[in-house]
Amino acid sequence: MAALEVADLDAGYGELQVLEGVDMTVEDGEYVSIVGPNGAGKSTVMKSVFGLTTVMGGRITFDGEGITGRRPEEIITTGIGYVPQNDNVFPSLSVRENLEMGAYILEDVPEDRIQRVYGRFPILEERAGQKAGSLSGGQRQMLAMGRALMLDPELLMLDEPSAGLAPDLVSEMFDRIDRINADGTAVLLVEQNAKEALARCDRGYVLVQGQNRYEDSGDALLSDEQVRREFLGG
Amino acid sequence: MSTVDLGGGISRLTSERTVRALVVVAAVVLALDLVRRIYTGSLTLGTLGFYLWNGIVDGLVFGLAGIGLSMTYSILRFANFSHGDLLTTGAFSGWTVAYLIAGAGIADTSSRLLLRADGGAPPGQLDLQILGEPIAILAGLVVAALLTVLIALAIDRVVYRPLRDAGGIPLLIASVGVALALRYFIALVYTSQNRAVTASSPEWSSPVFFWTEGVNVHELTMVVSATVLMVGIHLLLQYTKLGTSMRAMADNRDLALITGIPTERVVRATWMIGAGLAGVAGYLIVLDRGTITINLGWFLLLLIFAAVILGGIGSIYGAIVGALIIGLTINVSLVWIPSDMNEIAAFGLMILVLLVRPQGLFGGVETA
Amino acid sequence: MSEHGDSRPQWVTDALLIGGALLATYAVFTVFGLVLGLDVNGIVSTLQRVTFFAAVYALLALALNLHWGYTGLFNIGVAGFMAVGVYAMGLLSSAEQGFGLPLWIGVVGGMIAAALVGLLAALPALRLRADYFAIVTLGLSEIIRRALLSSSLREFEIGGQSLGTGGGSGIGFPATEGVVDYVLYAGAERGGDPALLGSLLFPLAETVGIQPSVVRSSVYTALLVVFVIAFYLVLSRIGASPFGRVLKGIREDEVAARSLGKHTNTAKIKVFMLGCALMGLAGMLWQGSRGTVTPSQFMPIVTFYVFVALIVGGSGSNAGSIVGGLVFAAALWEGPPFVRRIIRANMDVSTPTTIYDALLPLADLDVLPLVGYLVGSLDEIRFMIVGIVLVVLMLWRPDGLLGHRKEIAAATDLSRPSRRAGREGVEEGGDP
Amino acid sequence: MSETSEAPAEQRDAGEALLAVENLRKTFGGIVAVDDASFSVERGTITGLIGPNGAGKSTTFDCITGVYTPDAGTVTFDGEEITGRSPPAIADRGLVRTFQIAREFPEMTVLENVLLAPKDQLGESLWRSVAPIARREVVEQEEELVEQAWETLEFFEIDHLAREYAGTLSGGQRKLLELARALQTEPSMLLLDEPMAGVNPSLEKKLLERVHDLQERGYTFLIVEHDMDVIMNHCERVIVMHQGSVLAEGEPAAIKEDERVIEAYLGGEN
d(CA C417, CA C423): 10
Nearest by CB: A195 against D227, D233, D268: D268
Q: How large is the C-alpha radius of gyration of chain B?
A: 22
Measure the CA dihedral C40/C45/C51/C55, to 10°: 150
Nearest by CB: B305 against C126, C135, C395: C135
Chain A residue numbers with beta carbons less than 8 Å from the beta carbon of D227 are 37, 39, 233
d(CA A124, CA C379): 62
* CB-based contact B249:B73 (threshold 8 Å): no
Q: State whether B38 and B92 are in the same domain.
A: no
Q: State whether B159 and B267 are in the same domain.
A: yes
Q: State whether B11 and B91 are in the same domain.
A: no
Which residues does A229 contact at the CB level (< 8 Å), separation at least 6?
none
Q: How far is CA D69 from the centre of its chain?
A: 18
3-state secondary structure (DSSP) of residue A62: strand
* CB-based contact D152:D186 (threshold 8 Å): no
In this predicted structure, the answer to whether residue B281 has a pLDDT above a threshold of 90 is yes
Do the chains A and D touch each other, judged by at least 3 C-beta pairs below 8 angstroms? yes
Nearest by CB: C238 against D92, D112, D129: D129
Q: State whether B7 and B65 are in the same domain.
A: no
Number of structural domains chain B divides into: 2
Q: How far is D102 from chain A (nearest CA, A)?
A: 13
3-state secondary structure (DSSP) of residue D190: strand
Looking at the complex, does the CB of residue C311 fall below 8 Å from at least one CB of chain B? yes
- Over residues A164-168, the mean pLDDT reads 72
Buried b (16+ CB within 10 A) or exposed e, A164-198: bbeeebbbebbebbeebbeeebbbbbbbbbbbbbb
d(CA C71, CA C239): 10
What are the percentages of helix, strand and coil residues in chain A, rounded to 5? 40, 30, 35
Nearest by CB: D84 against B1, B4, B9: B9
Looking at the complex, does the CB of residue D214 fall below 8 Å from at least one CB of chain B? no
d(CA D39, CA C367): 84
Q: State whether B24 and B73 are in the same domain.
A: no
Residue among C326, C225, C231 at smallest CA distance from C275 = C231
Which residues does B172 contact at the CB level (< 8 Å), separation at least 6?
B78, B79, B80, B81, C131, C134
Q: What is the DSSP letter of D165?
A: B
Nearest by CB: B248 against A50, A77, A93: A93
With contact defined as 3+ CB pairs under 8 Å, the chains touching B are A, C, D
Chain A residue numbers with beta carbons less than 8 Å from the beta carbon of B254 are 87
In chain B, residues 108-127 whose CB comes closer than 8 Å to chain C: 109-110, 113-114, 117-118
d(CA B87, CA B148): 8
- Suggest the residue from D28, D31, D69, D75 to mutate for an interface test with chain B (most B CBs closer than 10 A): D69
pLDDT, one tens digit per residue, over A110-152 is 899 999 999 999 999 999 999 998 888 888 999 999 999 999 9
Chain B residue numbers with beta carbons less than 8 Å from the beta carbon of C264 are 6
Strand segments, DSSP code E, in D133-236 are 189-193, 220-224
Residue among D249, D180, D222 at smallest CA distance from D43 = D222
For the domain A1-73+190-234, what is the CATH superfamily, name and number? P-loop containing nucleotide triphosphate hydrolases (3.40.50.300)
Q: State whether B73 and B180 are in the same domain.
A: yes
Domain that holds residue B288: 61-298
Q: What is the pLDDT of residue C324?
A: 93
> Which residues in A have their CB inside 8 Å of a CB on B?
50, 52, 72-73, 76-77, 82, 84, 87-93, 97, 100-102, 104-105, 109, 147, 151
Chain A residue numbers with beta carbons less than 8 Å from the beta carbon of B247 are 90, 92-93, 97
Which residues in chain D show pLDDT less than 50? Answer: 1-13, 269-270
In this predicted structure, the answer to whether residue A211 has a pLDDT above a threshold of 80 is yes
Phi, then psi, of A137 in degrees rounded to 5 = -60, -45
**Angle at B137 (CA atoms; ends B131, B142), nearest 5 degrees:** 145
Q: How far is C120 from chain B (nearest CA, A)?
A: 12
d(CA D211, CA D61): 19
Q: What is the DSSP string of B202-265?
A: PEE--TT-TTSS-EEHHHHHHHHHHHHHHHHHHHHHHHSHHHHHHHHHHH-HHHHHHHT--HHH
Q: How far is CA A222 from CA A33, A200, A204, A232, D52, in A?
A: 12, 11, 9, 14, 18
Residue among C83, C60, C113, C122 at smallest CA distance from C304 = C60
Q: Of B298, B318, B342, which residue is a domain's last?
A: B298
Q: How far is CA A84 from the centre of its chain?
A: 7
Half-sphere exposure of A135 (CA within 13 A, CB side): 30
Looking at the complex, does the CB of residue D264 fall below 8 Å from at least one CB of chain A? no
Looking at the complex, does the CB of residue D270 fall below 8 Å from at least one CB of chain A? yes
Q: State whether B175 and B139 are in the same domain.
A: yes
Which residues does C104 contact at the CB level (< 8 Å), separation at least 6?
none
Residue B281 domain flag: yes
The mean pLDDT of chain B is 87
Q: How far is CA C155 from CA C152, C162, C168, in A?
A: 7, 7, 12
* CB-based contact A185:A16 (threshold 8 Å): no
- Suggest the residue from D174, D260, D265 to mutate for an interface test with chain A (most A CBs closer than 10 A): D265
Q: What is the DSSP letter of D238?
A: E
- Suggest the residue from B3, B5, B11 to mutate for an interface test with chain D (most D CBs closer than 10 A): B5
Q: Of B280, B298, B316, which residue is a domain's last?
A: B298
For helices C378-396 and B168-190, the axis angle rounded to 10 degrees is 160
* CB-based contact C317:C407 (threshold 8 Å): yes
Residue among A187, C147, C148 at smallest CA distance from B348 = C147
- Suggest the residue from D53, D170, D199, D241 to mutate for an interface test with chain A (most A CBs closer than 10 A): D53
Nearest by CB: D262 against A191, A193, A232: A232
Do the chains C and A touch each other, judged by at least 3 C-beta pairs below 8 angstroms? no
Element spanning D35, H or E: strand D31-42
In this predicted structure, the answer to whether residue B311 has a pLDDT above a threshold of 60 is yes
Q: What is the pLDDT of residue B211?
A: 61
Residue among C298, D117, C81 at smallest CA distance from C73 = C81
Residue B153 domain flag: yes
Looking at the complex, does the CB of residue B342 fall below 8 Å from at least one CB of chain A? no
* CB-based contact B316:B323 (threshold 8 Å): no
Q: State whether B140 and B181 are in the same domain.
A: yes
Judged on CB neighbours under 10 Å (0-12, 13-18, 19+), D205 is exposed
Q: How far is B258 from chain A (nearest CA, A)?
A: 5
Q: How far is B76 from chain D (nearest CA, A)?
A: 26
Q: What is the DSSP string of C372-392?
A: HHHHHTHHHHHHHHHHHHHHH
| CB count in 10 Å sphere of residue B269 | 19
pLDDT grade, residue B367 (50/70/90)?
Answer: very low
Residue B326 domain flag: no
d(CA A53, CA A39): 16
Q: Do D267 and A197 lie within an 8 Å CB cutoff? A: yes
* CB-based contact C414:D111 (threshold 8 Å): yes
Task: List the single residue in A with minimal CA-CA distance to D168.
Answer: A15
Q: State whether B203 and B261 are in the same domain.
A: yes
pLDDT, one tens digit per residue, over B94-143 is 999 999 999 888 888 888 889 888 888 888 888 888 888 999 999 999 99
Q: State whether B101 and B152 are in the same domain.
A: yes
Domains and CATH numbers, chain D: 3-104+186-268 (3.40.50.300)
Sheet architecture: strand order including D72-77: D31-42, D17-28, D72-77, D80-81
| CB count in 10 Å sphere of residue C31 | 11
Q: Do B260 and A151 lie within an 8 Å CB cutoff? A: yes
Start-to-end Cα distance in chain A: 37
The mean pLDDT of chain A is 88
3-state secondary structure (DSSP) of residue D223: strand
In this predicted structure, the answer to whether residue A164 has a pLDDT above a threshold of 80 is no
Lowest-confidence range among A78-87, B146-155, B244-253, B353-362? B353-362
Q: How far is D268 from chain C (nearest CA, A)?
A: 38
pLDDT, one tens digit per residue, over B35-49 is 999 889 888 888 888
Q: What is the pLDDT of residue D11?
A: 40
Judged on CB neighbours under 10 Å (0-12, 13-18, 19+), B166 is middle
Looking at the complex, does the CB of residue A232 fall below 8 Å from at least one CB of chain D? yes
Half-sphere exposure of A132 (CA within 13 A, CB side): 26
* CB-based contact C316:C407 (threshold 8 Å): yes
d(CA D161, CA C2): 10
Sequential pLDDT tens for chain C (432 residues)? 334 444 677 888 889 999 999 999 999 999 989 988 889 999 999 999 999 999 999 999 999 999 999 999 999 999 999 999 999 999 999 988 888 899 999 999 999 999 999 998 887 777 788 888 888 899 999 999 999 999 888 888 877 778 888 888 899 999 999 999 988 988 888 878 888 888 889 989 989 989 999 999 999 999 999 999 999 999 999 998 999 999 999 999 999 999 999 999 999 999 999 999 999 999 999 999 999 999 999 999 899 999 999 998 888 889 999 999 999 999 988 988 888 888 888 888 788 888 888 888 888 888 888 888 888 888 899 999 999 999 999 998 887 776 666 677 887 777 776 765 544 443 333 333
Residue B25 domain flag: yes
d(CA D162, CA B117): 64
Chain C residue numbers with beta carbons less than 8 Å from the beta carbon of D182 are 260
Q: State pTM to two decimals.
A: 0.89
Looking at the complex, does the CB of residue D168 fall below 8 Å from at least one CB of chain A? no
Q: State whether B273 and B173 are in the same domain.
A: yes
Residue B196 domain flag: yes
In this structure, the strands spanning B195-196 and D189-193 are unpaired
d(CA A26, CA C180): 85
Q: What is the pLDDT of residue B15?
A: 63
Tell me the β-bridge partners of A9. Answer: A22
Nearest by CB: A231 against D266, D269, D270: D266
